[in-house]
Structure 1
Amino acid sequence: MRRSTVCGMEHQAGRPRAERARRMADVLRQQITDGRFDGGRLPGEHDLGRQFGASRNAVREALALLCREGLITRRRGVGTVVVLPKYGHGLDRLTGLAEELTGHGTVTNEVRAAEEVAVLPAAIAARLEVPATAGGVYVERLRWLDGLPLSLDTSYLTLPLGRAVIAGDLVGRDVFALIEEAAGGPLGRAEVAVHAVGADPDTAALLGVGAGAAVFALERLTRLPDGRPVDVESIRVRADRMTLRATLHRTAAPGPGV
């Protein structure tokens, strides 16, 4: 089968148009999330076809895929433009959202709940390694970036640190900063799990997306330097506004037979 390299990609002649369109969409998606298009405007169909060595039909099919994902919009007389800028959030460093997005926009917080609870849910108590009857603090915030909803963050915190957090500035500061201020030093580490879910109707309404729209679900357990867990978080992030990033280092591969 004849092979050719276009735009740094290896293409195989004769592949189904749907597969060529998917490959093209993969590259364009990466460029969109990297902010590679000045002003958020993509090149025209002719230029994209030339860059990728693809037919106009394949280009249109690739763009249609990105339209259905909500990444771009196409309007006559305007062209193809990115719907919303995507912001990166690193997963290889323990940071709060406002801290991570410094210089990329204005983060504001709508505090929906900040209250002490007498009995923790059993699953939360197990993660915090305390009896359920020890109680804790519950915080729920809707977080906005440049006037648009970005994430719905809920936290269960241990006492007495939780009390100090809800006595602090939850509107203007990250929870991590408030915890560290109360603890008198930096946090230690966190375990994070990320998966994709369809937004339930209530979450969708708060985030300004359609019910069932894809959102990132982050479950994070944060610990102090001595290993004590202090914060169990459940975060729902609009997938059309955020890219999760990490820099990973490969260790030496195990030898044969290991």
Structure 2
Amino acid sequence: MVTTTDTRRRRADRARQVADLLRRQIVQGQFAHGQLPLEAALAREFDTSRNTVREALDLLREEGLVERCPGVGTTVAAEKYPHGLHRLLGLAETLHEHGQVTNQVRTMSLIEPPAAVSHRLGLPAGEPVVYLERLRSLNGLPLSLDLTYLVRDVGEPLFDADLAHNDIFVLLEGIAGQPLGMAELTVEAVNADTHTAAALGAPRGAALLMVERLTHLSDGRPVDLEFIRFRGDRLTMRGHLRRAPGTGTDPEIPGEEQAWH
């Protein structure tokens, strides 16, 4: 026996499925002039009911991705920008096709770091580092709040650099005289605290993408530890992953792991 509750749950499940597919199409810019098809057309496309489509669009509206106006229909309210995870690039390098990235330096100083930072950067206890906090915007809209710890010999020259219009990665390579090599990366979802929400122009408690990244020079030396909070409604993370031969059949080899770089 199918109950009303079962029917509603199945419709809610289906609405999430439709919302996931529409979200990807929106992010990829597949709708001309930002106008989504009518509910009836979407219902035919996804072989579902108009009520299910309406619930899916409501989910996207709650995310701030679309607007729904009587007589106008459903339109894209905000653009999400793709941030690749398969190459080690600065933000301006990553988003150069989408506009201009500018950086507001909020804090920059030489500090004695917490022990956890010294450990990650491979420094002896008490050795100073350069601490840098930047608000980064794309086309004038706040996109991320970056907290960065830099080893002193490559960080101090940045006091005289143009940080407003340059990625730190590009500057670091010039200072160090060698390219960057690899980075260890962690991505998780966090809620915006009061300070971060105000800086990013987002509601308190809004969903953010939190990226922790430890970047090494090509010789393997760690030089840059960052904690980056991205507005989740303005950025989407993308990467390419390959399944290693024998995965799923061979026991895990100690010391080997796959990661996004």
- Alpha carbons of structure 1 residues 149 and 133: separation in structure 2 relative to 1, 3 Å: same
Partner of 2:234: 241
Partner of 2:134: 141
- Alpha carbons of structure 1 residues 251 and 203: separation in structure 2 relative to 1, 3 Å: same
Q: Secondary structure at the match of 1:173?
A: coil
Kept in 2: contact 1:157–1:231 (CA 8 A): yes
Q: Map 1:93-104; keep pairs closer than 5 Å.
A: 93-104=87-98
Q: Map 1:152-171; keep pairs closer than 5 Å.
A: 152-171=145-164
2:182 is equivalent to residue 189 of structure 1: yes
In 1: Cα distance, 2:208 partner to 2:32 partner: 26
Measured on the aligned residues, the alpha-carbon RMSD in Å equals: 1.6
In 2: Cα distance, 1:132 partner to 1:69 partner: 44
Partner of 2:82: 88
CA deviation string 1:13-67 (max 9, x = no partner): 9982112211111111111122211222111111111111111111111111111
2:69 is equivalent to residue 46 of structure 1: no
Q: Secondary structure at the match of 1:16?
A: helix
Kept in 2: contact 1:214–1:238 (CA 8 A): yes
2:5 is equivalent to residue 28 of structure 1: no
Tell me which amino acid in the other structure corresponds to 1:27: L
Match of 2:194 among 176, 198, 201: 201
In 1: Cα distance, 2:238 partner to 2:170 partner: 22
In 1: Cα distance, 2:35 partner to 2:75 partner: 4
Tell me which amino acid in the other structure corresponds to 2:216: R
Partner of 2:245: 252
2:102 is equivalent to residue 108 of structure 1: yes
Match of 2:217 among 221, 224, 236: 224
2:204 is equivalent to residue 211 of structure 1: yes
Q: CA deviation at 1:166?
A: 2.4
Q: CA deviation at 1:111?
A: 0.7
Task: Give the TM-score normalised by structure 1.
Answer: 0.91
Q: CA deviation at 1:206?
A: 0.7
In 2: Cα distance, 1:255 partner to 1:63 partner: 38
What 5-or-longer segments of structure 1 have no aligned partner? 1-12
Q: Secondary structure at the match of 1:36?
A: coil
2:53 is equivalent to residue 78 of structure 1: no
Kept in 2: contact 1:192–1:220 (CA 8 A): yes
In 2: Cα distance, 1:98 partner to 1:206 partner: 19
Q: CA deviation at 1:131?
A: 1.8
Partner of 1:6: none
Work out the number of aligned pairs and report it: 245
Q: Report the identity percentage.
A: 53
Partner of 1:121: 114
In 2: Cα distance, 1:14 partner to 1:215 partner: 30
Partner of 1:67: 61
In 2: Cα distance, 1:139 partner to 1:22 partner: 40
Q: CA deviation at 1:256?
A: 4.3
What 5-or-longer segments of structure 2 have no aligned partner? 1-6, 252-261
- Alpha carbons of structure 1 residues 52 and 111: separation in structure 2 relative to 1, 3 Å: same
Partner of 2:31: 37
CA deviation string 1:72-131 (max 9, x = no partner): 1111232211111111111110000001011211111111012111x1111101100102
- Alpha carbons of structure 1 residues 90 and 121: separation in structure 2 relative to 1, 3 Å: same
In 1: Cα distance, 2:248 partner to 2:25 partner: 37
- Alpha carbons of structure 1 residues 235 and 256: separation in structure 2 relative to 1, 3 Å: closer
In 2: Cα distance, 1:255 partner to 1:27 partner: 29
In 2: Cα distance, 1:216 partner to 1:252 partner: 31
